Chain A
Amino acid sequence: MTYKTSRRGFLTGAGATVLGASVLPFLKVLPASAAAGDVVVAVTGQTINSLDIQRTGTNRPSYQVAVNVYDRLVSFGTKTLEDGSLSYDYSVIEPEVAESWEFTDDDMAIVFKLRPDGKFQDGSPITAEDVKWSFDRAVSVGGFPTVQMKAGSLEKPEQFEVVDEFTFKINLLRKSKLTLPDLAVPVPMIINAKVAREHATEDDPWAMEYLHKTPAGSGAFKVASWKPGEQLVYERNDGWTSGPVPAVQRVVLREVPSSATRRALLERGDVNMSFNMPNKDAKELSGTEDITVATTPIENAIYCLCPNLAFEPFKDKKVRQAIAWAVPYEEVFQTAAYGRGAPMWGGPSTAPADIAWPQKFPYSTDLDKAKALLAEAGYADGFEVPLSIDLSQSDWMEPTALLIQENLAKIGITATIEKIPGANWRTASLVEKRLPLHLETFGGWLNYPCYYFFWAYQEGHLFNSSNYRNEEIETLTSEALHMSVEDPDYAPKIKRMIEIAWDEVPRIALWQPALNVGTRNLEGYEYWFHRQLDVRGLKKA
């Protein structure tokens, strides 16, 4: 790209302008007292299309509004990773709107005590009534929010009970370790029910139209202005009751579709953050003076090559293993991911030592082994197969597919690359599951191996695009899914599941993807499993 030689230029010219744009307040609206460090400008390539995560058609980038503008009963803790960057901590659940909680004696209900001083952004108190209304909404509106609630065994309004003004009870359908963490994901946000009810109509009992454009939450930030396709401006909620009031007054999130332009803006110092940078830019900018690039491997996510068991040659385990031995892992990782993320190949043993997930699959590039396995399976002369990729993810899928195609040719398999338009990809790969050999990207929000297996290895589930079915995995996954991690039976079950998944390889792991965020004069960026920007902890350096 054109910016390769540009560091010289930026060192001489940009230093002086670093503060330029980000410091100037809005010319007409900001009070003169607004200090220089109070405004953060971030750029992203994606559009926020709704301020309500529970609405039909709300896209992923919009989830950040639920995080920044609304609170949940509980949240996750924060930890510092090895490279010094911050990440949420899955193992710690912290209070947010709820002050404390406890399980009843039979473990079949959780009772939450809300903060008595909890206030919504309009100043009205956060009551158990609001929590119930919000949860009823999440399980009733259908689509994504309802599915996500169900993952935590939160399925019907009858489960949610108002005990008194500040006491809220969830009756559990089953004991599950997923319930409490599922309350900390963006979906079960707490909405100001009094405001929402005022705007509900007979056709629209859950005030979908109103909340779509007008948030009614208690979160650390308010939405000061929102122009879809252009920008979203967050304004601090000085009366935030669920945590320490944020350091920055205002966050301007600007949409810039071209990644080259985003990079130029960050390098010139006109913005403080470029969220979700391409791997290539992250690689080239890391180590640059003044710019910090946080590259966090995305938890519980793997980029995979999936042979589909509904098609003849892949019914044979040996053929799948042959392909797993044929993939040029290192080249793929360096070319398609620019080495950002974590390798998922070359594991030392066919039996896992622990229950970490994802962990390295016991395959590496060994064409002789691949050929031998193909011959054993009776495909010594190879076969032909289409290798499908998603056009909207062609940045990494295309180089990956080309490299795999090249190596498959060496073991006699002729793969033709089939490009599928983005709008059609989900239908073809996940819903109809009709692609013989394809790339897949599932990552689970709830960070447990059994949760990954539930979505990606159990038959009929959405991300099991390989049409895989194994009786033992079916049983083990269902047993492990709700079981406590401390249970002595848990680890052996998970190890067995991983061992089967490695042996039968319906999903061939390529690498664990990473989320890249470049910051400048900015501290406090924290990685979250939802991969969206949490602006609450940001501070100007």
Chain B
Amino acid sequence: MAGRLSTVGLRITHAIPVILGVVVVSFLLTRALPGDPAVYFAGAAADEQSIAEIRTALGLDKPLMEQFLIYAGDVITGNLGNSLSTGQPVLQDLANRLPASLELTLTALLLSCGIAIPLGVLAATRPGSAVDHLCRVLVTAGVSLPTFFTGVVLIYVFYYLLGIAPSPLGRLDFIYIEPDRVTGFYLIDAAIAGDWETWTGALKQLVLPATTLALFTLAPLARMTRAAMLSALSSDYIRTARAAGLTEDKVLFTYAFRNALLPVITTLGMVFSFTLGANVLVEKVFAWPGIGSYAVEALVVSDYAAVQGFVLAMALLFVALNLVIDLTYTLIDPRIGFETK
């Protein structure tokens, strides 16, 4: 156990150069973008003098190196600057919006794992059967239907026509008061506060967007589960297990499934990180105040501080995510260890 802790520590130190690189690159890339924030934020009737005043106010008239040093100094003290487009400190924006995105993405992933993994396993154990075909249809549909389209169709059917779903107005309908902030996840915060009315309200709002995202993330997971299970089932150790007369359940779950999990976890990690940044369209359709739409809006108006903050937050998140996935590997397959590296 002590060995594992020290390797975790080691892995975290390995992340430091990555983070430093991200800070430099995100700074340079935002400056390389076309567009002039001073002009943009000077407003409709600005003249050259007012643009110059704003440039000075934003510190954009200083040489690039000096701007970078100021930025780096601020980052070290935990100050990510102020976003121009929302008018709030970037750190506060991220703290508000990251949990919203995480809550949506995690719920969607739970949902899609809950469907994709059993489906993949069933499809692999019964190739060519009806389940296998269902799996194929779902996967094809999930890949080929863009999320904004699925989102709009779901709203149309379940909100507009049937009236079952609540109005797609973001995380909570305006009749509810948001729960006291502990984690930023409404479901968790409402549960902590014991406010089950709000909890149900938040869950209702989650259903449609999470389903939209789940349909999209289901495809790679189901495919990967099916493929990994197929290759595991056709391997030598399964033949041996079967020859030894082990029960089918034991063969399937203890030997085949456990071995098939590694590529599935890898895919899950990739899908998660991808979805977190890429669910912009779902966020737009459902008015979800997430981090994806925040980053896109910031990019459109060359809001440097917000873009840099977003990139940095994502980098930190990915480092953490990779660590968690690596640790999960060692739990699933004892042959894998950090020590071997």
Contacts and interface: CB of A to CB of B under 8 A. Distances in A.
B43 A258 contact: no
A199 interface: no
A369 interface: no
Contact of A254 (B93, B170, B176, B294): B170
24 contacts: A13-B163, A14-B163, A17-B163, A21-B174, A27-B197, A47-B86, A57-B41, A144-B46, A228-B87, A228-B93, A229-B289, A230-B171, A231-B174, A233-B174, A256-B170, A257-B284, A258-B285, A260-B155, A261-B286, A264-B168, A268-B160, A392-B300, A423-B300, A426-B40
Contacts of B9: none
A94 B300 CA distance: 40
Contacts of A427: 35-36, 39-40
Contacts of B39: 426-427, 430-431
Interface string A131-157: 000000000001110111001000000
B294 A268 contact: no
B176 A257 contact: no
B58 to A, nearest CB: 8
Interface residues of B, number: 64
B35 A50 contact: no
A314 to B, nearest CB: 24
A33 interface: no
Contacts of B300: 392, 421-423
B189 interface: no
B177 A29 contact: yes
Contacts of A231: 174
A268 to B, nearest CB: 6
B35 A151 contact: no
B160 A229 contact: no
Contacts of B44: 60, 144
Interface in A364-413: 392
Contacts of B51: 431
Contact of A56 (B57, B153, B163): B57
Top-8 shortest CB links A-B: A423-B35, A144-B43, A142-B53, A49-B87, A256-B287, A57-B41, A57-B84, A50-B87
A228 B97 CA distance: 11
Contacts of A58: 43, 87
A329 B233 CA distance: 68
B108 interface: no
A27 B175 contact: yes
Nearest to B294: A229
Nearest to A47: B86
Interface stretch (A2-10, A67-75, A161-169, A289-297): A2-10
Nearest to B198: A27
Interface in B287-341: 287, 289, 293-294, 297, 299-302
A416 interface: no
A230 B54 contact: no
B129 interface: no
A179 to B, nearest CB: 17
A257 B151 CA distance: 14
A110 interface: no
Contacts of B197: 27
A268 B167 CA distance: 9
Interface in A206-235: 212, 227-231, 233
Interface string A254-284: 1111101100110110110000000000000
A235 to B, nearest CB: 13
Given A49-B85, A258-B284, A427-B36, A229 B50 contact: no
Contacts of A254: 169-170, 174, 287
Interface string A226-256: 0111110100000000000000000010111
A264 B49 CA distance: 44
B174 A41 contact: yes
A24 interface: yes
Contacts of B286: 258, 261
A422 B45 contact: no
A347 to B, nearest CB: 28
Nearest to B50: A143
A110 B306 CA distance: 45
Contact of A24 (B96, B175, B294): B175
Contacts of A431: 36, 39, 48, 51
Nearest to A463: B45
A258 B156 contact: no
B175 A21 contact: yes
A146 B53 CA distance: 11
A148 to B, nearest CB: 6
Contacts of A212: 87
B161 interface: yes
Contacts of B177: 26-29
Given A9-B160, A143-B50, A270 B87 contact: no
Interface in A417-440: 421-424, 426-427, 430-431
A25 interface: yes
A462 B36 CA distance: 16
A421 B299 CA distance: 10
A101 interface: no
A3 B88 contact: no
B263 interface: no
Interface string B250-294: 000000000000000000000000000000000111110100011
A261 B294 contact: no
Nearest to B280: A257
Contacts of B57: 56, 142-143
B245 interface: no
Contacts of A230: 170-171, 289
A114 to B, nearest CB: 28
A258 to B, nearest CB: 5
B87 A229 contact: no
B111 interface: no
Given A264-B159, A423-B302, A462 B46 contact: yes
A423 B160 contact: no
Contacts of A142: 49-50, 53-54, 57
B173 interface: yes
B42 interface: yes
A56 B41 contact: yes
A147 to B, nearest CB: 5
A267 B156 CA distance: 11
Nearest to A14: B163
B161 A143 contact: no
Contacts of A146: 50
Nearest to A431: B39
B287 A258 contact: yes
A50 B82 CA distance: 12
A255 B284 CA distance: 10
Contact of B156 (A55, A257, A264): A264
A147 B163 CA distance: 49
Given A26-B177, A55-B87, A265-B167, A3 B36 contact: no
B45 A3 contact: no
A311 interface: no
Contact of B87 (A17, A57, A264, A424): A57
Contact of B287 (A9, A257, A424, A455): A257
A459 to B, nearest CB: 13
A171 B39 CA distance: 32
Contact of B34 (A9, A421, A430): A421
A484 interface: no
Contact of B42 (A28, A144, A228, A229): A144
